[in-house]
Chain A
Amino acid sequence: MDYKALGLKAGIEIHQQLDTEEKLFCRCPTTLRKTGEHAGEFFRYLHATVSEMGEIDRAAAEEMMDRRQFHYLTYDTTCLVENDEEPPAPMNREALEIALALAKIFAMHPVEQVHTMRKLVIDGSNTSGFQRTALVAMGGILPNGGVVETICLEEEAAQRVEGSTFSLDRLGIPLVEITTSPCMFTPEDVQQTAEYIGMVLRSTGKVKRGLGTIRQDINVSIAAGARVEIKGVQELDLIAEVVRREAQRQTTLLAIRDELRARRASVGEEVRDVTPLFAGTESSILKKAKVIRAFVLHGFAGLVGREIQPGRRLGSEISDYVKKCGLGGIFHSDELPAYGVTAEEVARLREHLGAADEDAIVIVSGSKEKTACGARQAQHRARRALEGVPEETRKMLEEGSTSYMRPLPGAARMYPETDVFPVAIPDGLWEEIRAPELLCDLARRFENDLGLDAALARQVVSSESLPLFRAAVDAGIRPNLAARTILGTLKELGRDGVAVSRLAPAEILAVLRAVEDGTVAKEAIPEILSAVAAGTAVAEAVGAHAGGMSDGDLATLVQAIVADRIDFVREKGMRALGPLMGLVMAEARGKVDGRKVSEALRQEISRVI
């Protein structure tokens, strides 16, 4: 696809959890917990006024939203602030300084006084019903000429466990949000920029690692399309694909619009209760429904079922809107007969509604209230198909297609968090902030100064074990040995089922030092580390696997010691073994296994007596 011709424009918003000691607005640790460890739970309702809920109509809003009950799990690592039962503590300085360090890297302007805001979030993921967020810096640049618009510091939301149950361990972990302008014009641009920003974030050494700790939101539009925000892309590798598929979706929706207009298509106003038509239906979904309603989409035939993205049709888009009313989705005539709905039933329905062949029909089923809400939502989405691409917030599905989440939020849903004082960033503080060395520069330095090959250097800097590698190099271990052990050997051992996570950095360093001072051969590293991981002390494991004293050396040592005390040996015979053992071990400890020493001594003694 020629993205330039399409007028593709994209920007990204990257949310990264920070690895601080404490949360952003309370003194709890930023530790994630297993839900089984929860210490308590409570439940609340969130009450939002209708204007804050966007598109859904008032009646539906009150039914669906006003009485939503949310359950929360608490831990011995969460407090009353997460419970929304205590005012927030002052903003975490450590987090602010990390955000400022990032601002320095992107050559941004920090604001002179940071004001914390409350951003309305009523999906239950914030106990308060809002997320605290603060703008820290503006106006930065990317190496490819792109623009970093803002860096914000905000609270992470609670983790949804299932349904309306949330876990409070994650709530309040500091997040930096880095927002670029729509300064990218190809899917690959977007991916590369995301990769670059991710690298910058990791350069601080203060970010959480692992799935879910970094999330990308992508803004995409094409020339005649609309701005769409795709939430929660966790896999970096999928970013380009998500952008490609969104460009495809918008292009197809525009083509559908043009065809609808050419056909003079329209959305039928009248929603009919067609429950009696399906009295004897075999469709399990319709059989369960108290009420079945249907309406006509004039001139839509064939287009509701047209694919707009892999696995997605216009019908899926309509379904998404209907799901907001608590229904499972819709049936539409482009996909029928199917799902137990017979051709006869479809024909009867067409006749009943007076639908022509070029018309499509949408069916919703469920309770009286929900189907009324669902039909309105379906009509609403169908009308927007006549206009083109709706502005939306969407969520990523597996493989990179997306589904509708909610309307785009406006800037309007923010107001000051009066419980947190503004924080001044005086010139003195800004000057003291040091930008960390970027991992890409560090990799180059490792390549040039330490002699690592380029791929290994890149691997080292992007590894979570970078601090261990640096400690090893500082301790005089050859960089290549350190890198290969830390990145290669440990990974292979882990794959083989060794509990590498139980190895302390100090233990790994001790083993590497034993290699460097010649106590063991480097070939013995995997076995030694395996033994240590299984609970053996390092000294013992090193000794047991010592390649530092060859069999020949051991034989020479044993012969010399026996020869020196030949009278004693002749007098005591085998009983000399014990006393001599100590003498040999004084020389061989850590270099050779004790049993081997004992065996060598036994042989030598029996040879001389």
Chain B
Amino acid sequence: MSDTFTTGDIVAASCRGQPVEGIYITDRDGMAVVKLGSGYNIGVDPATCTLVAKSGETAVQPPLTVEQDESLPELAIISTGGTIASKIDYRTGAVTSQFTADDILRAIPGLSSIGRYRAGVLATILSENMTPSIWQDLARAIHAAIRDGAAGVLVTHGTDTMAYSASAVSYMLDTPVPVVFVGSQRSADRPSSDNVMNGMCAAAAAGADLGEIAVTMHATTNDDFCAVHRATRVRKMHTSRRDAFQSHGMAPIGRVDFPSLAVHLTDDAVRRGACTLALHDRLEERCGLLYFYPGMAPEILRAYEGYRGLVIAGTGLGHVSTGCIRAVRDLIDAGAAVVMTSQCLHGRVCDRVYDTGRDLLSAGVIEGEDMLPEAALTKLMWVLGNESDPERVQRLMTADLKGEIRRRSDHGL
């Protein structure tokens, strides 16, 4: 039986009567996956598998240390699970993510000409499994790295929720150096992966004259340059394209050309040293984000009873149906802060134009200005983690803390 095999064992099996021999990989969906001498995997009936030879001790490659140039700025790499480097074992076909500085440098040799690195693993999770408490750990780890002398910090992150993490960290951390989130949209094992260019551009940004939290990813489908986005202004706008990350309500704060790695920052970008290092790592986790839709039952809003904060992604200028307003009022009366943002993503909320909007305002809804819903959620968590007075909460939520609110809507779609 196949449960006696381990990956790497040589097994003989039968494929509809044709004898085959290969390397046992795994059992999946009731089939044994075997890698043939030609390199192809096939699924065979596990009952036909017999052992030919146990897996030999795989020769452990002597860990090759990569020379780091001491004259270059010291950068910290903090991994959270998004992989910008991976290694393929062609014997078994296994692809493993790489997290140590040496492994990352071996996978992206170009990094070694930009800085010298210290790498640490904070988490190895898919980014959809991120939690506010990991955001807090991340803010603390970045704070520690900067305190210990890092001239810039790279955070490798899965792209799905990278924008949430980056904006959450923005509120928790005042940084004098660049903190650059980076990921890859196409897996790091493929020669075409965007990991190399994103990684190198992010490292260049982390060494640049920048003093804020940013996301650095492909700006176009070409391998020509990366955009540097403000953390509270960026959003993943495509499921799979390399240029999925786009700034909203403002142009990116910079770009990094590839392969020259020349960094160009706009006047908007906060410069290195503009802030002193500080950590305010409290978050209120009892906050929610609700996407309104026509016909939504008020019970859905009532399910948030007991929450301290709720961000609504409303329609257009920031609306929910008349039938939901009562439930919103009840949440606010019970002490929750309710912030209105828009599903439009682009543009500013204004609840003073139509009746439902005016009713929402009189119920006590806070207009979220031109904040992205995700940036508003992480901000609300941070504000409620630090404030409980409703008036001060309202003032903070409508003030620009980390670039999440623009006083003027000067940038179109």
Interface residues of A (CB under 8 A from B): 42-49, 62, 66-67, 69, 80, 83-87, 109-115, 117-120, 122, 127-130, 133-135, 138-139, 150, 152, 411-416, 418, 422, 424
CA distance A415 to B39 in the complex (A): 8
- For residues 185 through 205 of chain B, which have their beta carbon under 8 Å from a beta carbon of chain A? 185-186, 189-193, 196-197
**With A114-B42, A411-B39 already in contact, 11 other A-B pairs whose C-beta atoms are closer than 8 Å:** A45-B196, A45-B223, A46-B192, A49-B106, A80-B240, A80-B241, A115-B33, A115-B43, A129-B191, A413-B39, A415-B189
CA distance A42 to B44 in the complex (A): 41
| The one of B41, B186, B222 that contacts A84, using a Cβ cutoff of 8 Å | B186
CA distance A135 to B41 in the complex (A): 8
| The one of A85, A112, A133 that contacts B44, using a Cβ cutoff of 8 Å | A112
Binds A, one of B13-21, B157-165, B325-333, B338-346: B13-21
User: Chain A nearest CB: distance from B340 CB in Å?
Assistant: 34
Binds A, one of B90-98, B143-151, B249-257: B90-98
CA distance A27 to B192 in the complex (A): 22
Is the beta-carbon distance between B15 and A411 smaller than 8 angstroms?
Answer: no
- Chain B residues positioned under 8 Å from A110 (CB to CB): 16
CA distance A122 to B193 in the complex (A): 12
Is the beta-carbon distance between B222 and A43 smaller than 8 angstroms?
Answer: yes
CA distance A118 to B241 in the complex (A): 20
Is the beta-carbon distance between B221 and A112 smaller than 8 angstroms?
Answer: no
Dominant SS among interface residues on chain B: loop
Given contacts A85-B240, A414-B93, contact A111 B15 (CB under 8 A): yes
Q: List 9 A–B pairs whose Cβ atoms lie within 8 Å, in order of A's numbering.
A: A110-B16, A111-B43, A113-B31, A120-B191, A150-B40, A152-B40, A412-B90, A415-B89, A415-B95
Is the beta-carbon distance between B222 and A422 smaller than 8 angstroms?
Answer: no
User: Chain A nearest CB: distance from B262 CB in Å?
Assistant: 16
Is the beta-carbon distance between B191 and A48 smaller than 8 angstroms?
Answer: yes
| The one of A47, A87, A111, A127 that contacts B42, using a Cβ cutoff of 8 Å | A111
CA distance A86 to B89 in the complex (A): 24
User: Chain A nearest CB: distance from B266 CB in Å?
Assistant: 25
CA distance A477 to B88 in the complex (A): 62
User: Chain A nearest CB: distance from B276 CB in Å?
Assistant: 39
Is the beta-carbon distance between B40 and A135 smaller than 8 angstroms?
Answer: yes
Interface residues of B (CB under 8 A from A): 15-18, 20, 28-29, 31, 33, 36-45, 88-91, 93-95, 106-107, 109, 185-186, 189-193, 196-197, 220-224, 239-242, 259
CA distance A100 to B356 in the complex (A): 62
CA distance A138 to B44 in the complex (A): 13
Question: From B106, which residue of chain A is reached at the shortest CB distance?
Answer: A49
CA distance A47 to B190 in the complex (A): 8
- Chain B residues positioned under 8 Å from A86 (CB to CB): 239-241
Is the beta-carbon distance between B190 and A129 smaller than 8 angstroms?
Answer: yes
CA distance A46 to B197 in the complex (A): 10
Given contacts A112-B15, A127-B192, contact A67 B259 (CB under 8 A): yes
- Chain B residues positioned under 8 Å from A48 (CB to CB): 191
Is the beta-carbon distance between B90 and A112 smaller than 8 angstroms?
Answer: no
CA distance A319 to B37 in the complex (A): 33
- Chain A residues positioned under 8 Å from B41 (CB to CB): 115, 117, 135, 416
Given contacts A85-B242, A411-B37, A422-B29, contact A109 B18 (CB under 8 A): yes
Is the beta-carbon distance between A414 and B43 smaller than 8 angstroms?
Answer: no
Is the beta-carbon distance between B221 and A117 smaller than 8 angstroms?
Answer: no
CA distance A47 to B20 in the complex (A): 35
Is the beta-carbon distance between A49 and B107 smaller than 8 angstroms?
Answer: yes
| The one of B17, B33, B88, B191 that contacts A109, using a Cβ cutoff of 8 Å | B17
